[in-house]
A and B are shown apart, each in its own frame.
Chain A
């Protein structure tokens, strides 16, 4: 799979690969927060980005292959940041969870995808048996 084309000219790309294990997720979110801080994001926006990346890594761990890795590509653009997260698994269930249904107390599995969609400006999943799952998320600098 190729990275999604950035909307504007790239100002820098950082690639990170972590073991698909729970103890590495904090490393991914802190590294991505450091990259995002190169852009003019607010503290709240950086927290959103951290959570979205962590959720995508968590999905990769929960739905990926055992002993796999997660590749995270952070591309800083003039408008914000493009984050691409790839793993070899089949990805999370992508059913759309409406806010009201989370309150039913039984829809926690899809909560991560719900959060990613709520916190980022655009989210695109692709998944297939050969290439695994790729999630491309964009956060734009507001204002």
Chain B
């Protein structure tokens, strides 16, 4: 089990973090490191693409929440791309759908950052 993390610059000052694999207590530190590095470099508008994520647990959610908390302190935002029904369900039952922008495709997530 592993997570692949790919960070790329997109339009404007926005960055996209592509995640592939499973986010759990073992792999979430790798995701946290990538997000923390972007924020430390003062990139506060992020799209995190979860389209290829098969599984996420509370530690993964905690990393996303922590990232959102930090960027909001600087007037930024974190939007998510998520199409997996099981993962959407986790965001739904935890109420996190209310604090994250969750989109079906990257273009919409990027557009909503602006």
Q: Could you list which residues of chain A lie within 8 angstroms of chain B, going by C-beta atoms?
A: 22-23, 25-26, 44, 47, 50-51, 54-55, 57-58, 61-62, 99-100, 102-103, 105-106, 108-109, 111-112, 114-115, 118-119
Contact = CB atoms under 8 A, between A and B. Distances in A.
Interface residues of B, number: 24
A44 B86 contact: yes
Nearest to B97: A103
Interface stretch (B7-15, B42-50, B61-69, B105-113): B61-69
Contact of A47 (B58, B69, B86): B86
B18 interface: no
Contacts, number: 70
Given A25-B25, A61-B25, A108-B65, A115 B58 contact: yes
Nearest to B62: A108
Contacts of B25: 22, 25, 54, 57-58, 61-62
B95 A102 contact: yes
A102 to B, nearest CB: 5
- In the A-B complex, the 5 residue pairs with the smallest Cβ-Cβ separation, listed nearest first, are A99-B95, A108-B62, A22-B26, A111-B58, A112-B58
Nearest to B85: A44
A108 B95 contact: no
B13 to A, nearest CB: 23
